[in-house]
Structure formats: C-alpha cells, structure tokens
C-alpha cells in the first residue's frame, strides 16, 4: 500500500502545474476532433448566415 500511495501522491503533486496548462489542450486535440472542427467552423457559420444572429 505504501507504493500505491507514493504513486498517487506523485501523480497529484508533480504534474499539477502541467495538467492545468497542457492537459486540456491534449484532450481537446486527441479525444474530440469533431468538437475542435465545430468550434473552428462556428464563427464562419455565424458570419455567413445572418439568421443565426
């Protein structure tokens, strides 16, 4: 049990700074490419169609 506690503490303490900056970007790129395309094309759709405004 001591080793599992040490591993959990290392995961929470060491990458804490990295997770806030890089983790959302990595998850957004790898796990949701459809959402990435949607948010990239959304402004174009809003500009091209005045009905959505």
Over the stretch 6-53, which tens digit does the pLDDT of each residue have? 444 444 444 445 544 444 454 555 556 676 777 777 777 766 656 554
- pTM (2 d.p.): 0.26
> For position 10, what pLDDT does the model report?
44
Q: CA 3 to CA 11: how far, in whole Å?
A: 12
Supply 25's token pair: 């970007």
Q: Which domain holds residue 47?
A: 2-52
Any idea what DSSP says for residue 53? -
- What lies within 8 Å, CB to CB, of 29 at 6+ separation is 36
Work out how many domains the chain is built from and give that number: 1
């Amino acid at each position: 049990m001591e080793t599992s506690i040490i591993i959990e503490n290392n995961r929470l303490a060491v990458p804490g700074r990295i997770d806030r900056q890089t983790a959302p970007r990595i998850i957004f790129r790898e796990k949701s490419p459809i959402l990435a395309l949607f948010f990239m094309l959304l402004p174009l759709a809003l500009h091209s169609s005045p009905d959505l405004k």
